[in-house]
Structure 1
Amino acid sequence: MIFQKLKISSRLITFLDIIVIVFMFIFLKSYFSVHKYSYTTKKNGLKIVSTIRNKKLNQNNFMIINLTIQNTTRKDKIIEINRKNIFNIIVEKDNKVIYKSDILDIKRERSKKIKLAQRGELKLSYEWDLTSNFKEEITTGNYKVTVYSLDLDISHSYDIEIIEEEN
């Protein structure tokens, strides 16, 4: 009888431990969660995902844009890149271009070929430091960020807000 009580109590402790661990993970996930906003395009056996971290940015912060190209087929894929950059960004405020990552949109003399193995991934990143290359002042307000690639034939738009820096 004593052994039966120990077996029951050990099961209760294990069950309670599991509940505590689950609540701990839920709390940690919500505490450390970073809101990600992404768009996905599927074309020719490729899954192309562009992601930004936050839609609200402080004035003295920066924005990171990630692009993931994934081969979803069971065969190797070759991506042909004819431009200098695989992807570019344009930032607009009130339909006026504030920033463009590659102003000249330079074309390569020889195209670059990237081989993606079956189910392979290529991860790229770009950082915008909230400055303008058209001598415009970056103020608080709403902006439109467009991530595009002429080689991959994609265009994803995000609406972001730049807010005053909090002390």
Structure 2
Amino acid sequence: MAETKIVVSVVETIKVIKFESTYNKEVKQLILSVLSEYGFSFHSEWDSDLDNIEATYSGRSGFWIAVDGSKIIGTSALLEYQNNNAILKRMYLSRTYRGKGIGYRLLDEAISFARTKMYSEILLDTTRTMVQAQKLYTAFGFIKTKEQDELIIYKLKLK
């Protein structure tokens, strides 16, 4: 009798879940690893949210992680901002998992959350070197609103 093999896509085994404090250390490590890959390092002012993710992203804010089994492979976050707007933050994915639709799922989770919270717009900033991320943002309808040096600002109108 011939043996039948079932092939399961890596993407099918990955879950996007709400952040829990038990993941704080691993999330911070992943984010700092991706930042390092692009030539950035921890900045105490800009990255202070990583030391208290649960408190920073509570209420009308949210933080999600992509997990492959018990391994954290990606993150996305939405932070409440002024005038009923939100800021997309912490959109990071481990290099080996890029280009497989996981970033899409993380971004979709954040945008869906923003819609349930009745936000008017989502703002985000990225750098010129994060080309794959820029393609993802424009695919979701984000519009480039400003470019300054290495920084690019995008906006998505929800209403």
- Determine if the TM-score, normalized by the shorter chain, exceeds 0.5: no
Q: TM-score range with shorter-chain normalisation? A: under 0.3
Q: Which has the higher relative contact order, 1 or 2, with Cα contacts under 8 A spaced 6 or more apart?
A: 1
**Larger helix fraction of residues:** 2
TM-score (norm 1): 0.26
Larger Rg: 1
Which structure carries more strand by proportion? 1
**TM-score, reference length from structure 2:** 0.27
